[in-house]
């Protein structure tokens, strides 16, 4: 039997773990999303958790904080985003957690953005029913140009 995945509200102790996970250079390169320093990270999460339109859930796998799933508004569209700590990659956690999260996040259409080189994350979205809807380029908060795929769930 596969270990259980639980989605629950984000707690302050989760943020300590999520902060450490987002410092991983391999994970940030894969996500094309630079790590934030401690103050910036906690200020970001304070805004996320204070906004009632956001849905944020900690992903707990086998009793450990594995990452986070989020639903949020961006430029007038409903978006989904997630982060799974590198030590939890390759175990199907993101797909299982996103499948459960889509029962919580009911708004459609729902968009997901993924760095072009992040094939695993694109597959997670596709396994959950998202379809390729376009491509984009942007400059991330680290000043890096990122090419991305945009996927959409109707």
pLDDT per residue, tens digit, the chain (154 aa), is 677 999 999 999 999 999 999 999 999 999 998 999 999 999 999 999 999 999 999 999 999 999 999 999 999 999 999 999 999 999 999 999 999 999 999 999 999 999 999 999 999 999 999 999 999 998 877 788 989 999 999 9
Q: Which two tokens stand for residue 39?
A: 């103050």
Q: What pLDDT does residue 3 have?
A: 79
User: What is the domain partition of the chain in residue ranges?
Assistant: 5-108
What is the CATH architecture assignment of 5-108? 3-Layer(aba) Sandwich (3.40)
What is the reported pLDDT for 140?
A: 79
Q: Residues with Cβ < 8 Å from 82, sequence gap 6 or more? A: 59, 67, 68, 69, 70, 94, 97, 98, 101, 124
Tell me how far apart the alpha carbons of residues 47 and 42 are, in angstroms, rounded to a whole number.
9
């Amino acid at each position: 039997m596969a270990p259980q995945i639980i989605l629950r509200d984000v707690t302050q102790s989760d943020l300590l773990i999520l902060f450490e996970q987002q410092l991983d250079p391999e994970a940030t390169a894969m996500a094309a999303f630079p790590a934030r320093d401690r103050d910036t990270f906690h200020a970001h999460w304070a805004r996320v958790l204070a906004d009632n339109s956001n849905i944020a859930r900690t992903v707990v796998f086998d009793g450990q904080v594995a990452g986070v799933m989020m639903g949020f508004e961006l430029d007038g569209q409903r978006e989904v985003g997630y982060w799974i700590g590198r030590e939890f990659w390759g175990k199907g956690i993101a797909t299982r957690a996103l499948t459960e999260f889509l029962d919580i996040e009911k708004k459609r259409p729902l968009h997901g953005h993924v760095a072009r080189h992040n094939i695993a994350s694109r597959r997670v979205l596709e396994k959950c029913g998202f379809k390729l809807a376009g491509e984009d380029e942007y400059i991330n908060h680290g000043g890096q140009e990122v090419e991305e795929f945009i996927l959409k769930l109707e």
